[in-house]
Amino acid sequence: MIVFDKLWETMKAKHVSTYALRDRFDIDSRTIRRLRANQTVTTDTLDKLCRILDCKLYEIAEYLPEEAEKEDSIL
């Protein structure tokens, strides 16, 4: 699964709030909720976030294997 924990760390380091994402950069509040819940977002959204934060994708998103995938790799 893709998680966005690093997004919040990067935003804090760059002094960008969720309010700024909504107000200044027109990121929809539903998209922000999806990011908080580690749900799917479009690659366009990821691209926009990287441009806003002047960062690389790995600074906002991370792949973590699901438990079932971890178990399969052990076998």
Per-residue pLDDT band for 58 (boundaries 50, 70, 90) equals very high
| 3-class DSSP assignment, residue 68 | helix
pTM of the model: 0.85
More confident residue, 70 or 42: 42
User: Measuring CA to CA, which residue among 3, 20, 2 is closest to residue 11?
Assistant: 20
Domains of the chain: 2-74 (1.10.260.40)
pLDDT > 80? residue 71: no
Decide: helix, strand or coil at residue 34. Answer: helix
